[in-house]
């Protein structure tokens, strides 16, 4: 039995959980098929920021939790003085065959404790594009270093990688080159695979039409409403002006159209975009047809999806859109919802190619509004499109299908050729991050988390000291005494 130590993002989709993002879904996406392959998995999850449960509310730094038949450890307070010694102890106690990091931050953390174990790093979304959108939102570039630290350490250390899109794979190859990993030892080594987002099991079985379970129709909206669904966080790359203008134009021409959203602001990452959307609605003549449910219990999501008619996704012009993926679209398709989306992300091109919804250009709300109206006015065609969407998603985006490269790798995990060479040259070294094979790697290995500005200041101070007469006198005296 293969023993796999996984570091991912929590919370998982347990009963009662409300605030959960794509990174949390990604963790179970990776762990579930590893368990079904009868591997022995030890899982530790790192927390996402949640203002409802700040770290200071917890007495313990970590606790045991259970999902299905897996007991795992959820870190509650991500204090480095606790986290890294704790993970090192857990890894040595478990003695895994390999380590898997799921998402960029857990992969960065895993890189610092992986030692010489074979290590797979899942970089779910290009961190530097996400960092750029956050910097633009906050008007503060100081955050870029935080995003780069995890990306840098994961890319320098991991033996194999997964990305969420083909475009991101190309960005990762560029990072591998810049950090010295494309070298003589890895000339023909396949570093990375694409693991696309998968359908969460919540959305595989469609709920029935039991009126007692209804969340929307006849309660918050008319029974004959045409529901346009948004689900998940309003992130930095969401163009809320475009979204509102699209919906307002559609609502003006069809009074049956209602907008329903689950999710909202993302604590600690983007608490601005959702607030801006609220302000737009406050001044809208159609505000009563915008139903914002916020972060609801995970088990209610399939019911809300089943009461909706189509899904909607809107992106802005930025690099995250070019390199990123959209969990909401994957799960909407699996729920039988045709998706109206801007044509930009990889999955939007899949929708266009396979007729799983309608795609429109970025920054063209009139065309998107028209697409919504056409679907609202042609219910038979919309239902047929929804059935095709569900069939496609359940064929191509299952856990088993998407994680095939990972499942194959863990059967025989191994170090990358350059990491293997480092160990040959330094047999007693336990930290591969501290080693290098070229000058390109040497700078990163030596500096790591050292403050370059402070090092330069220290160098300048030392140079000034050496120029002082008293220091020169000391050197002369030392030289004379040494000769004797």
pLDDT digit string, tens, across residues 409-434: 999 999 999 999 999 999 999 999 99
pLDDT digits (tens, 9 = 90+) for 374-388: 999 999 999 999 999
Tell me the mean pLDDT in the region 345-354. 98
Tell me the mean pLDDT in the region 50-57. 62
| Angstrom distance (rounded) from CA 257 to CA 250 | 7
The pLDDT value recorded for residue 48 is 84
- Mean pLDDT score of the chain, rounded to an integer? 92
Confidence of residue 44 (pLDDT cuts 50, 70, 90): very high
pLDDT of 54 strictly over 90: no
| Angstrom distance (rounded) from CA 387 to CA 409 | 34
Confidence of residue 469 (pLDDT cuts 50, 70, 90): confident
Q: Which two tokens stand for residue 447?
A: 């500096």
The pLDDT value recorded for residue 51 is 58
Tell me the mean pLDDT in the region 73-94. 95
Cβ distance 228 to 260 under 8 Å? yes
Q: Which two tokens stand for residue 120?
A: 């797979």
The pLDDT value recorded for residue 97 is 98
Residues 6+ apart with CB under 8 A from 222: 256, 258
Q: Among residues 154, 365, 374, 376, which one has the least CA distance to residue 257?
A: 376
pLDDT of 209 strictly over 60: no
pLDDT digits (tens, 9 = 90+) for 12-25: 988 777 778 889 99
Per DSSP, what are the bridge partners of residue 238?
Answer: none
The pLDDT value recorded for residue 9 is 97
Q: At what angle do helices 166-178 and 144-157 cross, to 10 degrees?
A: 80
Tell me the mean pLDDT in the region 82-88. 96
Strands 62-67 and 70-75: antiparallel
| Angstrom distance (rounded) from CA 199 to CA 329 | 10
φ/ψ region of 370 (left if φ > 0, alpha if ψ in -120 to 50, else beta) reads: alpha
| Angstrom distance (rounded) from CA 8 to CA 23 | 8
Q: What percent of the chain has pLDDT over 90?
A: 78
Q: What is the pTM of this model?
A: 0.90
Q: What percent of the chain has pLDDT over 70?
A: 95
Q: Which two tokens stand for residue 85?
A: 């010694």
Tell me the mean pLDDT in the region 304-323. 95
Tell me the mean pLDDT in the region 205-216. 71
The pLDDT value recorded for residue 242 is 96
The pLDDT value recorded for residue 269 is 76
């Amino acid at each position: 039995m293969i023993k796999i130590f996984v570091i991912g993002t929590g919370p998982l989709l347990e009963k009662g959980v409300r605030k959960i993002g794509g990174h949390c879904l990604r963790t179970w996406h990776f762990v579930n098929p590893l368990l079904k392959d009868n591997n022995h998995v030890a899982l530790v999850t790192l927390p996402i920021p949640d203002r409802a449960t700040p770290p200071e509310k917890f007495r313990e730094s970590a606790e045991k939790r259970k999902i299905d038949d897996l007991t795992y450890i959820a870190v509650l307070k991500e204090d480095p003085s606790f986290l890294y010694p704790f993970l090192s102890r857990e890894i040595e106690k478990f003695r895994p065959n390999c380590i898997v990091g799921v998402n960029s931050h857990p992969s960065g953390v895993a890189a610092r404790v992986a030692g010489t174990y074979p290590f797979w790093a899942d970089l779910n979304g290009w961190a530097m594009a996400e960092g750029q959108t956050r910097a633009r939102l906050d008007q503060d570039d100081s955050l870029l270093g935080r995003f780069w630290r995890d990306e840098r350490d994961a890319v320098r250390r991991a033996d194999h990688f997964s990305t969420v899109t083909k475009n991101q794979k190309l960005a990762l190859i560029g990072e591998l080159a810049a950090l010295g990993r494309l070298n003589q030892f890895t000339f023909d080594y396949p570093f990375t695979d694409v693991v696309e987002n998968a359908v969460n099991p919540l959305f595989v079985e469609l709920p029935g039409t039991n009126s007692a379970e209804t969340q929307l129709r006849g309660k918050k909206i008319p029974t004959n409403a045409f529901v346009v669904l948004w689900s998940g966080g309003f992130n930095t790359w969401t163009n809320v002006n475009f979204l509102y203008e699209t919906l307002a134009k559609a609502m003006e021409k069809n009074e049956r159209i209602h907008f329903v959203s689950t999710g909202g602001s993302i604590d600690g990452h983007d608490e601005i975009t959702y607030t801006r959307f609220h302000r737009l609605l406050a001044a809208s003549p159609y505000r009563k047809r915008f139903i914002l449910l916020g972060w609801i219990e995970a088990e209610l999501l399939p019911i809300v999806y089943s009461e909706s008619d189509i899904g909607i996704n809107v992106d802005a012009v930025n690099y995250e859109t070019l390199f990123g993926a959209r969990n909401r679209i994957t799960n909407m398709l699996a729920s039988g919802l045709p998706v109206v989306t801007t044509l930009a992300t990889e999955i939007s091109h899949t929708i266009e190619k396979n007729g799983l919804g309608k795609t429109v250009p970025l920054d063209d709300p009139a065309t998107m509004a028209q697409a919504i109206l056409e679907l609202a006015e042609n219910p038979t065609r919309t239902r047929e499109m929804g059935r095709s969407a569900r069939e496609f998603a359940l064929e191509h985006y299952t856990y088993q299908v998407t994680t095939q490269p990972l499942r194959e790798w863990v059967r025989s995990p191994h170090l990358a050729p350059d990491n293997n060479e480092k160990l040959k040259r330094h047999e007693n070294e336990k930290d591969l991050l501290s080693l290098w094979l070229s000058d390109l790697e040497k700078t990163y290995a030596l500096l790591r988390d050292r403050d370059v500005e402070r090092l330069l200041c220290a160098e300048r101070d030392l140079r000034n000291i050496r120029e002082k007469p008293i220091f020169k006198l000391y050197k002369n005296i030392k030289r004379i005494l040494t000769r004797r």
